[in-house]
């Protein structure tokens, strides 16, 4: 995908085009009028990654257009980035420029910021980090007021911690999330809050227990848990499961049981076709599942998970790929219909569109 042109004057029209395409693609499923959640037109990304381009003694942030992958596009300003990252970028570049220990063979810089004001910067190198790197890096971190990590092949130096703590208000609750370097987090924090709010609104009057697949660091788990009696949440990544457990404790959520399992494994466990040692402390018969929540990868739900979904009264589905969502909805047409829909513009000025559907049993 080419590097997008950022022009706030065109944002409303671009979003309208994406919504129109979404409605056209789902018209055959009697799609209700979707709620539309726009992004801020500027300064919306809480994550950013840049190559560092070396030209003699000078370094610059750079990106590459897939149409010309060998030609760097140096970045002076990156209006997509949140204001904290935008303000940090020139300060960091200037400081790196003046330090041979930090600049030498620096390959990439990754930023992770939060609404709560924390920031983590990762410096990635094409060389082993020697004894001169850490003192210079500690001085840099103290000067900029950030957390800092150094990476090279088979090497990771964490100066303080490799995570930041996000915090924001949602429906009268102050939610807190540990976000770990290198793990998935929602890039558009403002739109993420709107996604959480919409999901909570869909479940506010529901009863029974919730099964959540692909829970990640508990982004939706923490928000949705008060809407249900009990929640069984699954995630395959060990790092994300650790973060999710941290986040449940940090938010005082005590009705969630976490299991590190893939979607096809939990499908087999629920169908009683296979027993798993990881489920030894889970009494599946004690749950009264009425709702399934899924936020799958771009590939959508596989066939066993679609079959699992057919057994639920309600399916709350957040998707980052409308095409695979369309395929999954088609596969569920015999048992479920769309009761509510929403689109969330996580990535302005691109063709990407996050969307949400509430499917209910016919």
Q: Which residues are annotated as a binding site for S-adenosyl-L-methionine?
A: 186, 214, 219, 235, 295
Supply φ then ψ for residue 171, to 5 degrees. 50, 40
Per-residue CA distances from 131 to 89, 135, 141 (Å): 26, 8, 16
User: What are the residues facing 266 on neighbouring strands?
Assistant: none
Per-residue CA distances from 209 to 181, 256, 288, 290 (Å): 32, 10, 5, 6
Q: Which of 39, 33, 43 is nearest to 14 (CA)?
A: 39
- Give the number of other CB atoms < 10 A from CB of residue 252: 10
Supply φ then ψ for residue 298, to 5 degrees. -60, -25
Q: Please give the Cα distance from 182 to 322 (Å, whole number).
A: 25
Element (H, E) at 50: strand 47-55
Q: How far apart are the first and last CA of the chain?
A: 39
Q: 190 in helix, strand or coil?
A: helix
Q: Do the beta carbons of residue 18 and residue 356 sit within 8 Å?
A: no
Q: Which of 182, 191, 256 is nearest to 40 (CA)?
A: 191
Q: What is the DSSP letter of 307?
A: H
Q: Please give the Cα distance from 154 to 126 (Å, whole number).
A: 11
Supply φ then ψ for residue 50, to 5 degrees. -135, 140
DSSP notation for 98-155: T-HHHHTTEEEEEEEE-TTS-EEEEEEESS---TTHHHHHHHHHHHHT-EEEEEETTE
- Binding-site residue set: 186, 214, 219, 235, 295
Active site residues: 320, 354
């Amino acid at each position: 995908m080419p590097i997008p042109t950022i022009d706030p004057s065109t944002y409303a029209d671009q979003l309208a085009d994406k919504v129109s395409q979404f409605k056209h693609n789902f018209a055959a499923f009697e799609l209700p009028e979707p709620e539309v959640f726009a992004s801020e037109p500027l300064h919306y990304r809480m994550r950013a990654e840049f190559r560092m381009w070396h030209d003699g003694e000078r370094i610059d942030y750079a990106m590459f257009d897939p149409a010309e992958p060998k030609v760097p596009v140096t970045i002076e300003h990156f209006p997509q980035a949140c204001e904290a990252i935008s303000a940090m970028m020139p300060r960091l570049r200037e400081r790196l420029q003046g330090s041979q220990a930090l600049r030498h063979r620096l390959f990439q810089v990754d930023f992770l910021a939060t609404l709560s004001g924390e920031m983590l910067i990762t410096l990635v190198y094409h060389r082993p980090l020697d004894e001169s790197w850490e003192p210079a890096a500690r001085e840099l971190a103290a000067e900029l007021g950030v957390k800092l990590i150094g990476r090279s092949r088979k090497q990771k130096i964490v100066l303080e911690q490799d995570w930041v703590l996000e915090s924001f208000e949602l429906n009268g609750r102050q939610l807190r999330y540990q976000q770990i370097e290198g793990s998935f987090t929602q890039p558009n924090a403002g739109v993420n809050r709107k996604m959480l709010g919409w999901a909570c609104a869909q479940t506010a009057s529901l009863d029974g227990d919730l099964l959540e697949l692909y829970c990640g660091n508990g982004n939706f788990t923490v928000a949705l848990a008060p809407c249900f009696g009990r929640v069984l949440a699954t995630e395959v990544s060990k790092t994300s499961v650790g973060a999710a457990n941290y986040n449940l404790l940090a938010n005082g959520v005590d009705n969630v049981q976490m299991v590190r399992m893939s979607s096809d494994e939990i499908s087999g466990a629920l169908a009683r076709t296979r027993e798993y040692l990881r489920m030894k402390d889970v009494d599946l018969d004690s749950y009264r599942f009425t709702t399934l929540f899924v936020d799958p990868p771009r590939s959508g739900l596989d066939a066993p998970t679609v079959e699992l979904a057919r057994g639920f009264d309600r399916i709350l589905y957040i998707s980052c790929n409308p095409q695979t969502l369309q395929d999954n909805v088609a596969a569920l047409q015999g048992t479920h219909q769309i009761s509510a829909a929403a689109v969330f513009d996580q990535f302005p000025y691109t063709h990407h569109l996050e969307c949400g559907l509430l499917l209910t049993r016919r």
